[in-house]
Every structure is written in structure tokens, then in C-alpha cells.
Amino acid sequence: MPASFDEIEIGQVVSLGAAAVDPEMIETFIRGFTPGWTADRGAPDAMVYAIWARLDAVAHTDWPQTKRLGVDALRWVRNPPAGELLRGRMTIMAKDPVGEGKGIVIAQHDLLDEAGRLVFSCLTRSVFAR
């Protein structure tokens, strides 16, 4: 990721890394957060969101992002089975400078399975330092 807002380009694609859907984690998540869900249905939607949120949080620690303003247009397409490796990516959709010190970046985030199929997507609005 570029060092500042001004270096970010619309259309730029950034890797968010990868994470496996751990079978034990599915069981633990179901017990704690999604009663009635069964592991044979794959990772529950809330767990898929949590996997994306973790990948995003780790990836943006080195970015000039100072604040997340919103996460919108959440879309769950499938529930990945235990053992599936998910890859995250972010595509810059728009950016708008706000004064001399910061700007807002709108990005689409996707989680893809091993076959490249969409599992989850969302739009984010974030403040980046200039």
C-alpha cells in the first residue's frame, strides 16, 4: 500500500492476505455465537465477517489509514467449508481529498475461496493521511 493518500490510485488492488477456515474455530464460533448452526454448513456468516475483519486489521496496520468511517453493502455469497483457504483483496473505488491533511478512500473488499469464487464482499469508507 502506498505511504500516503495522494499515492493511492483508483483501481489499485491490494492483497489483504489469506486465512484458513479452521475446523476447531468453526466449532468454537458456533458454540459461542451461532446456536443452531451446524458445522456441515460451513463457516457461519458472522465468522466469515470476522475472518475478513481480522485480515483487514492486520493488513492496514502499516497503511496511512487513520480511521474507518463505515462498512456498507455487506454481501455473503457462500459459507466456506472447514479447511478452505480464503484470500482477501481490496480494490480502490474512489478517493476524495478533505483538506490538506487527510482524504477519504472508498474501497471494495472481497474474500475469495481457493477456486477464486466470491465468498464475502463489502464497501468501506476510510480516512487516510495525506
pLDDT value at position 95? 97
pLDDT value at position 66? 92
64-84 pLDDT, tens digit each: 999 999 999 999 999 999 999
C-alpha cell at 103: 482524504
Instruction: List the chain domain ranges.
Output: 5-129
Can you list the residues of the chain whose pLDDT is less than 50?
Answer: none
Which residue bears the cell 475483519?
Answer: 53
pTM given for the model:
0.93
Which of 93, 105, 90, 94 minimizes the C-alpha distance to 4? 105
Indicate the CATH number of 5-129 among 2.40.160.20, 3.40.50.2000, 3.10.129.10, 1.10.8.50: 3.10.129.10
Length of the chain: 130
94-110 pLDDT, tens digit each: 999 998 999 999 999 99
The total of other beta-carbon atoms located within 10 Å of residue 105's CB is 23
pLDDT value at position 4? 85
pLDDT value at position 26? 97
Beta strand spans in the chain (E)? 13-20, 65-76, 85-98, 102-112, 118-129
